[in-house]
Amino acid sequence: MNPRATSLLVLCFAASALLFAGTASALSFTNSTTITINDGLPGSGGGPDIPSAASPYPSPITPTGLTSAVTKVTVSLNGFTHSFPVDVDVLLVGPNGSTVLLMSDACGGLPGVSNLTVTFDDAAPTNVPGDQACIGTTYKPTNYDGFGLPCPSDPDVFPTNGVPGPQPPAGPYGTALSVFNGMSAATAMSGPWKLYVADDCSDDVGQIVSGWTLNINPTPTAAGLLSFSAAARA
C-alpha cells in the first residue's frame, strides 16, 4: 500500500475510534455486608436527639483494575430498609478525603421503606423526596434542613465518639458526586472508599440489607488503535 494512503487510513481510523469511544462502561464494586442502622439516642433537657453510628461504620470498598482517570461515580444502597427513613444520613468519603452527602433528612417518615435499591447519580432527573417515601429508583444526592425536633437540624453531624473504625471528617460536605471526576486511577485504588451511615433521631431503626455498590466510570480509550496502526504499516 502507498505510504501516504496508509497514513491517511490510520488517521481516519484514529479519528473514528476517538469519536465512537463514548463513555467507558462502569466498573462495579460491592460490599455486601449488611449495614445495621442503629437507633439515634434521645436528647436531654429538651434538646435535639443524638446521632448514632451504623454498624459497620464505615462500610469500606477498595476498587481494583482501574487503568484510567475517573469520569463518573454513582452509588447504590442495596436493600434499604427503615421504619422512619428521614432519620438516616449517608456520607461517601473518597480515598483522597473528598466527600459527598448522598442523603440526609429525606425519604419521608411513616410507614417507612423496605428492601429498596436506591441509586445516587448526579444525572438523575429528581432529588430524593423530602416528606414522602422514596422508591427503588435513581436520585440526585439530596440534603434537606432537618425534620424538626427532636431530630437535629443542619449542619449534619456524623458520630465520632467511640466509633471503632476510621472517623468521618467534619463538614461541610460536598453535594455532588462530580467531586470525584478526574481522580487518577492510582488515587481511586489507593485506599478504601468509605460509606458512613447514621441515624439522627430516636425510636426507629433499619438496615441496608445487602450493603452498597460503588460504580466508577473510567476515562474511555480508543481500543485497538495501536494494534491497527502497526498492522497497517506492516
Q: Is residue 204 within 8 Å of residue 76, measured between CB atoms?
A: no
Q: State the amino acid at position 74 in one-letter form.
A: T
Kindly tell me the sign of the dihedral angle through the C-alpha atoms of 13, 14, 17, 18: negative
173-213 pLDDT, tens per residue? 999 999 999 999 999 999 999 999 999 888 889 999 999 99
DSSP secondary structure letters along the chain: --HHHHHHHHHHHHHHHHHH--SPPPEEEEE-S-EEEPPPBP-STTPPPB-EE-BSSSEEE------S-EEEEEEEEEEEEESSGGGEEEEEE-TTS-EEEEEES-S--TT-EEEEEEEE-TT-SSBPPSSS---SSEEB-EE-S---TTS--SSP----TT-SSPPPPPS---S-GGGGTT--HHHHTSS-EEEEEEE-STT--EEETT-EEEEEEEPP--TTHHHHHHHHH-
99-150 pLDDT, tens per residue? 999 999 999 888 999 999 999 999 999 999 998 999 999 999 999 976 565 6
3, with CB counted inside 10 A (0-12, 13-18, 19+), is exposed
pLDDT in the model for residue 47:
73
Characterize the bridge pairing of strands 113-120 and 138-139: parallel
pLDDT in the model for residue 101:
98
Alpha-carbon distance of 73 to 213, in angstroms, equals 11
Residue 21 has pLDDT above 60, yes or no: no
29-86 pLDDT, tens per residue? 999 999 999 988 887 777 788 889 999 999 999 999 999 999 999 999 999 999 999 9
Angstrom CA distances, 50 to 46, 74, 105, 203, stand at 12, 29, 14, 12
pLDDT in the model for residue 13:
43
Beta pairing partners, 30: 213
Which residue has better confidence, 57 or 12? 57
Residue-range domains of the chain with CATH: 1-22+220-234 (no CATH), 25-218 (2.60.120.260)
Q: State the amino acid at position 218 in one-letter form.
A: P
- pTM for this structure? 0.84
Q: Which secondary-structure segment (H or E) carries 15? A: helix 3-20
39, with CB counted inside 10 A (0-12, 13-18, 19+), is middle
